Amino acid sequence: MTKFTKYADFLILGIITCFSLNSIYQHVVNYEIIDTQHYFSFFLLAIALLIRFFNPKKGKIILGILLAMGSLNLVNYTIDSYNILFSFSLNSLKLKTVGLQPISFVLFLFFILINYRSIKKLYHKLFDDSPEEKGAIVKAKTEKYESIFNKYSVEELEEIIKNRKEDYEPFARNIMYRILNEKKSIAK
């Protein structure tokens, strides 16, 4: 990991902080509207900064979550003129449904690009089977194919290998070859 990748999240947090400060400045000087979504976002940004200083790994995870939320306009660091909003009306009640913050979205893509290896490791850690589960799966498949192929004679197995081996996955073919070799060695 290079120094840039190690500290790139500070760059991203700095950019978000600059946009947040710009939003506050625009509110004070130009009377741009800042609502509770902005204040909540500023609060979360402050928490993310603190966590990043004291626990870098958790800070990166929090930053990734905040950028994802910002990309979908669930949290807002910029004034509304920097957002792309899609809304609909329901009996004169106007609701914001889906939004996109281009700045947060670009920063999120940059974050993913820089932390790709870490994200990939986290994904595999969360969603891949444990070694014990993988072993149990292999054992169950082995027993299944052994019970199937042990029923066949040497001639039947040779015929399957010659004419229909493509019907079976490579794992099953390996077991078929092993059982055929075992049966041939016993027959000798």
Which residues does residue 87 pair with via DSSP β-bridges, in sequence order? 96
pLDDT in tens, 59-116: 888 888 999 988 887 888 777 655 565 554 455 555 455 577 888 889 999 999 988 8
pLDDT in tens, 121-130: 878 877 877 7
- pTM recorded for the entire structure: 0.59
Concatenate the DSSP letters of all residues of 123-161 into one string: HHHHHSPPHHHHHHHHHHHHHHHHHHHTTS-HHHHHHHH
**Domain parsing of the chain, residue ranges:** 3-127, 131-187
| Those residues with Cβ within 8 angstroms of residue 52's Cβ, 6 or more apart along the chain or in another chain | 9, 10, 13, 59, 60, 62, 63
